Every structure is written in structure tokens, then in C-alpha cells.
Amino acid sequence: MSSAAAVEGRPLAGHTTRLPWPFPDDLDSFRYSVNVEPARVPRPTAAGEWGAHIVDLGGEEYGAMMAERRRILDADPHRVRILPGMLPACWDLLLYYLRDLAISFPHIMELSEDGDHLHWRNHALGTDQSFVLGDAASLPYDPMTFLGREIPDDLLLVKERDGRLCFDAGLVTFAAAWSVSFDVGMTMDEIHNPVPRLTKEGITSRAEQFLRRLPADQVYRRVNWTLSASGSRKLDVSLEELPAWGTDIPALVRDEEWGRLQLRIEVEHFVRLPMTGAVTFNIRTHMTSLDEIRRVPPWRDQLARVVLELPEDLATYKGFADYREPAMAWLTGEVTA
């Protein structure tokens, strides 16, 4: 089906046309798996296309997302956690991403290199920074924070410690109901223990195998999804902010405002950084409302099938077991907008 044929009513918003729809065309039932695939491969969807680059700047939303990211970082320094020994990996991350950004978006981003002396310019945000690789005093922030203030992705670094893969550094402002301060330092098993089925069905250990074998010259990605814990397009639904969003869904359910419910999609990129061997698990969060999804019939029908079919334990973990039926009934009902 062509994009135009798939769309009803008003034109779709820019973020909808770029949305990384999380389900393959023929999927009717969703279960957890090690669903990784090569990155930097554009993928067409029923409404547009996504995935050409590692970073999705977000089109017209870029400025607003970065203002929100910077506001949170300024207000709460605990959103950045770098465990001892992880600074070299943060420099590695910064250099890898700045090079990648300059190649992906040459019209707005430039990096010039002269040995360890670098000059970064981001014309969209007005950044113009010369610095020396590895010299903390030459940047206004630590290298992970400097990068986190330029791109909308949450940044997570995994490194082997005592024979285990550990989440040892992170900058996270848009967590889906978890906390970087709580999870930092944990092993893959410890992080994934609360997720039903994952560890018992061997998925956590297969994911760990995948991370251990990730080659330095190939980038992979994975898409994850849920219905957001907030009824607005609020990106920051971290545990730190629970008092600010905890009553959103009960209010939305009470008022039956199903169109406001948000599908929250995470695109996660796995890169083995060339100098330190640390692996990234960088998360770019996208959101779209049921109101928007309702206007793309293949998405509307597939989301309803997948959500209604999901076993109770997974729907409970994802937080929508109690309201999925009326929400999906609204989604597949007559379009009145």
C-alpha cells in the first residue's frame, strides 16, 4: 500500500512520517526476542521512512527536544552517571558520534580535526567549540554531557567488568519508567531481571552474547515499544519525575481520552567504540498518539491486534493491561476527526 493511500484526513505530522514503526508488516503477535538488525539501513513504513542514519535529529522537533534535554540536565546533574574508569570510553563515544554526525548532516554539522585538536560546529544549535581530545578542561562539560547536549539520544555505555557486561556510564533524560542512578553499575542480568520471561527464556544471555560478539566495524539497531506512562508527548517519564507524571494515565483512563494515549518507540543503537571497545546502547525515543495512528490504517489495525494479543504478564509489565481493551476499541472504531 502506498503512503498516500494509507493516510486519511489531515496531513500527517512530520514526526509521524519519520516514525520507526516497530512491527514488521506481517506481524500479528509480539514476543520479546533479540531483535537486532544492521543499522543505517532506511526502512519504508506505511507513512514514510526512517533509519538512514544512526542519529535522527528529529526534523522540526530537534530544537525543542534539545531545549528539554538541556533543561533537565541543568536541573538534575544525577541524570549523568559515569563510573570510575569510564572517561576514556566517553571520549571514544564523543569522537565516534561527532564524526558520524558531520558525515550524516554536513549542511548543519562540521568537525575539523588536527591531531587531537578538534573543532565542532553545530549550526542548528549554535555550538562552536574547539577542544583537545582527552583534555577535560578544554570542554565546558564532560565528554558524554557535551554529546548529550547536541543530540536527542539517551547515551548508555556497557563495558566488561569482572567477566560481566555492566552498564557503567549513562546520560539519560528520557527513561521509560526507570532511573539511570538506580541502574548504573548493574550487570545485564540485574537490569533485565524485572522484565517478565526475558532472563528465564534465555533472551538476556543471548543479548549478552550478541553484545560480546559485536564487531567494531558494524553498527546494529533494535526497536522497542510500549504505550507511554504519560498521556502527553512527555519524553521524561523517568522514575526521578514520577510525581510529575504518575497520575497522567489514571486521569486519561477516567476521562476516556484514548486519542491522547502515546505509542512510545525506542530505537537503540549498538556500536563497539573503536578505541576502548565499550559498547553503546543509545536510545532515541519517538512518540505518536493513538489519534495520529488511527489515521494510518495498517498501523491502526496492527497495533490493535498486537496489543490485544499480548499475554497478560507482558501487558502488565508494559503498564497497559487494565485499559488496553477500551483503548484499542477506540482505535479501531469509526474515524470521526
| CA proximity to 176, closest of 243, 249, 237 | 237
| CA proximity to 179, closest of 229, 240, 225 | 240
- Which residues ranging from 205 to 244 are in contact with ligand HEM (CB under 6 A)? 207, 210, 222, 224, 226
Q: How far is the CB of 315 from ligand HEM (least distance, A)?
A: 10
Q: How far is the CB of 118 from ligand HEM (least distance, A)?
A: 27
Binder to ligand HEM among 86, 93, 191, 296 (CB under 6 A)? 191
Binder to ligand HEM among 93, 94, 147, 156 (CB under 6 A)? 156
| CA proximity to 270, closest of 181, 317, 209, 328 | 209
With contact defined as beta carbons under 8 Å apart, do 187 and 158 qualify?
no
| CA proximity to 148, closest of 218, 65, 58, 222 | 65
Grid cell of 27 as nine digits: 506481524
Catalytic residue among 222, 284, 294, 300: 222
Alpha-carbon gap, residue 20 to 40, rounded angstroms? 13
With contact defined as beta carbons under 8 Å apart, do 149 and 124 qualify?
no
Chain-centroid distance, C-alpha 6: 26
Category of 48 on φ-ψ map: left (φ > 0), alpha (ψ -120 to 50) or beta = left
With contact defined as beta carbons under 8 Å apart, do 90 and 280 qualify?
no
Binder to ligand HEM among 36, 87, 124, 253 (CB under 6 A)? 36
Grid cell of 85 as nine digits: 574508569
Does 310 help bind ligand HEM (rule: CB under 6 A)?
no
Task: Please identify, using beta-carbon distances, which residue of 65 and 207 lies nearer to ligand HEM.
Answer: 207
Alpha-carbon gap, residue 92 to 47, rounded angstroms? 36
With contact defined as beta carbons under 8 Å apart, do 134 and 84 qualify?
no
Q: How far is the CB of 170 from ligand HEM (least distance, A)?
A: 7
Does 195 help bind ligand HEM (rule: CB under 6 A)?
yes
> In the bound complex, which residue of the shown chain has the CB atom lying closest to ligand HEM?
207
Task: Please identify, using beta-carbon distances, which residue of 33 and 112 lies nearer to ligand HEM.
Answer: 33
Stretch that binds ligand HEM, among 2-10, 99-107, 187-195, 295-303 (CB under 6 A): 187-195
Task: Please identify, using beta-carbon distances, which residue of 19 and 139 lies nearer to ligand HEM.
Answer: 19
Does 307 help bind ligand HEM (rule: CB under 6 A)?
no
Does 306 help bind ligand HEM (rule: CB under 6 A)?
no
Amino acid at the residue 189 = D
Is 233 a known active-site residue?
no
Alpha-carbon gap, residue 185 to 168, rounded angstroms? 5
Q: How far is the CB of 210 from ligand HEM (least distance, A)?
A: 5
DSSP state of 163: T
Does 167 help bind ligand HEM (rule: CB under 6 A)?
yes
> Rounded to whole angstroms, what are the CA distances from 191 to 55, 56, 114, 153?
25, 26, 40, 20
Task: Please identify, using beta-carbon distances, which residue of 61 and 266 lies nearer to ligand HEM.
Answer: 266
Stretch that binds ligand HEM, among 48-56, 70-78, 192-200, 241-249 (CB under 6 A): 192-200
Stretch that binds ligand HEM, among 32-40, 53-61, 89-97, 248-256 (CB under 6 A): 32-40
Rg (CA), the chain: 20
Task: Please identify, using beta-carbon distances, which residue of 183 and 301 lies nearer to ligand HEM.
Answer: 183
Task: Please identify, using beta-carbon distances, which residue of 32 and 105 lies nearer to ligand HEM.
Answer: 32
Does 34 help bind ligand HEM (rule: CB under 6 A)?
yes
Does 274 help bind ligand HEM (rule: CB under 6 A)?
no
> Rounded to whole angstroms, what are the CA distances from 324 to 20, 23, 245?
22, 18, 19
Catalytically active residues are: 222
Binding site for ligand HEM (CB under 6 A): 32, 34, 36, 156, 158, 167, 178, 183, 191-192, 194-195, 198, 207, 210, 222, 224, 226, 281, 318
